[in-house]
Amino acid sequence: MKNSNQAIQSELSRRDFLCAALAGLGSVAAAAPKKTAVVSVVSIKNDDIQAAVERAIDLLGSIESVTRGKGRIMLKPNLVSPAPNATTNRDVISALAKLMKSAHKEVTIGEGSAAAEGFNVKGAEVFRTRNSDLLNRMQRYVFDQLGYTELGKTLRIPLVNLHSGEMAKVRVPGGFVFDEVTIHHSLTEIDLLCSVPIMKTHGLAQVTLGMKNLVGVFPGTEYCSVRACMHDLAAKVEPSGVAASVVDMVRANKLGLVVADASTAMEGQGPSQGTPVKMGLIIAGTNPLATDMVSASLMGFEPEEVPTFLWANKAGMKPVRLDEIEVRGEKLDKVRRKFARPQIYPWASIRDVFGAKEIK
C-alpha cells in the first residue's frame, strides 16, 4: 500500500509540475508582442538590384498581393538634389517600375526636388523660392542629371513635377501642423503611393527614410523649395521643424508601400554632406512606419531617437516597438551597421542661414 501511495503522489507531483510549466508557457506566450507588420530585408548579391527588389517584394507576398486593387501607382524617389550619392539609385526605381508594369499597373514617377546649383543654390548660399518657372526648370534639370528622364522614356513612364501644375487641397483630420495640405492633383488620382527613399541620416530629422521622403510631396510653389516655408510653420509645433509635418503629409496621402534603397546609404551629416556607406540592402514593407523603424535599426538607431516615429505614434500609427514587427529575409544583427550620427540642429537655429532669403 505504501508503494502504491508513493506512486500516486509521484504521479500527482509530475502532473502538478507539467501544469505549472504549461501555465508558465502560456504566460510567456500571452506576453509575447503581437506582430502587426511585416518587413523584408534582402541583400543585393552580385550587384543585381533587380533580383533583390523582386525578392524583397516576394517576401511580402508578391507584387500582385502588395498592389491588389491598386491600378494607378506613383513611385516617389528621393531626389533632393542632382547629387547621385544623395539620391535614390535609379536602378531601384527601374526594378520596381518593371515589376509593377508586369502586374499591369499604370505607373508614374513623381518628385519635387529641394535644391540645385544655378537655380535656388548660388555657391554656398541656399534660397527658398515659390517661383514656378524656376522650379519647373530645376526639376527638369534634376531628372535629366540623374538619368530619370532617360528612364522614363525607356520604360514609357511619365515623370511628374510635384512642385507645380494643378493642385488639390486634402484635409488632415487631427493634423499636428496642418488642418489641410496642398498637394499635386495627381496624388489624389493614384491608388497607391510607393516611397522609395535612399537610406540616409539627416541633420533635422535624425534619419530620412520612407515617411520623411514625403517632404518632396510639399509643392514648392506653395511651401517654398527648399521647404523653409513649411519648416517655419512646423517649428511652431516641435523643434525639428519637420517631424510633425511629415506625419501630416503621410496621413494626407495613399502611402502604402516603402522600398528603401540601401544599396549605398549615407551616414554623418546627411542629407547631402554625409559620407557614402556601402550597405548592399533593399528593405520593403507595406507599413511605412514599420519599414522605417527596421531601416533605422539597421543604421543603429532606436525608435525613440527618431522624432518622426514619435509623432507617428502620437497620431495613432503602429507599431511602437521593433518586436511588434516580423522581419523576413536577413537577420538584422547580421547586416546592422552603426552609422556615424549627424549633428542635430533645431530648425530655429538654422533658419536664418539656410533658405532664409527668397527668390521671387
Q: Does the structure show a pLDDT above 50 at 34? A: yes
Residues 153 and 148: their CA atoms lie apart, in Å, by 9
What confidence tier does 31 reach under pLDDT thresholds 50, 70, 90?
Answer: low
**Per-residue pLDDT, 10:** 45
Q: State whether residue 178 is helix, strand or coil.
A: coil
Domain-wise residue ranges, the chain: 1-32, 35-359
Residues 276 and 268: their CA atoms lie apart, in Å, by 9
- Average pLDDT score over the chain: 93
Q: Does the structure show a pLDDT above 50 at 27? A: no
Residues 254 and 244: their CA atoms lie apart, in Å, by 18
Q: Does the structure show a pLDDT above 80 at 23? A: no
Q: What percent of the chain has pLDDT over 90?
A: 90
Q: Does the structure show a pLDDT above 90 at 16? A: no
Q: Does the structure show a pLDDT above 90 at 139? A: yes
Residues 182 and 188: their CA atoms lie apart, in Å, by 11
Of 192, 223, 187, the closest CA to residue 110 belongs to 187
* Cα end-to-end span (Å), the chain: 103
Q: Rounding to the nearest 10 degrees, give the CA dihedral for residues 266, 272, 273, 274.
A: -10
Burial 273-304 (b: 16+ CB within 10 A, else e): ebeebebbbbbbbbbbbbbbbbbbbbbebebe
Residues 121 and 110: their CA atoms lie apart, in Å, by 22
Reading the block at residue 338, the C-alpha cell is 552603426
| Peptide bond just before 77 cis, omega within 30 deg | no
Average pLDDT in the 299-316 region?
Answer: 98
**Per-residue pLDDT, 329:** 98
What is the per-residue pLDDT across 58-68, written as a single tens digit (0 to 9) for each?
A: 999 999 999 99
**Per-residue pLDDT, 22:** 39
**Per-residue pLDDT, 7:** 42
What is the per-residue pLDDT across 183-223, written as a single tens digit (0 to 9) for each?
A: 999 999 999 999 999 999 999 999 999 999 999 999 999 99
Q: H/E element holding 200?
A: strand 198-202
**Per-residue pLDDT, 353:** 94
Residues 261 and 35: their CA atoms lie apart, in Å, by 24
Of 142, 67, 88, 150, the closest CA to residue 112 belongs to 142
**Per-residue pLDDT, 32:** 75
**Per-residue pLDDT, 36:** 87
Higher per-residue pLDDT: 229 or 12: 229
Q: What percent of the chain has pLDDT over 70?
A: 91
Cα R_g (the chain), whole angstroms: 24
Q: Does the structure show a pLDDT above 80 at 25? A: no
Average pLDDT in the 134-151 region?
Answer: 98
Beta-carbon count within 10 A of 158 CB: 12
> Quick one: 35-359 is in which CATH superfamily?
LarA, N-terminal domain (3.40.50.11440)
Reading the block at residue 212, the C-alpha cell is 520623411
User: Which amino acid, residue 142?
Assistant: V
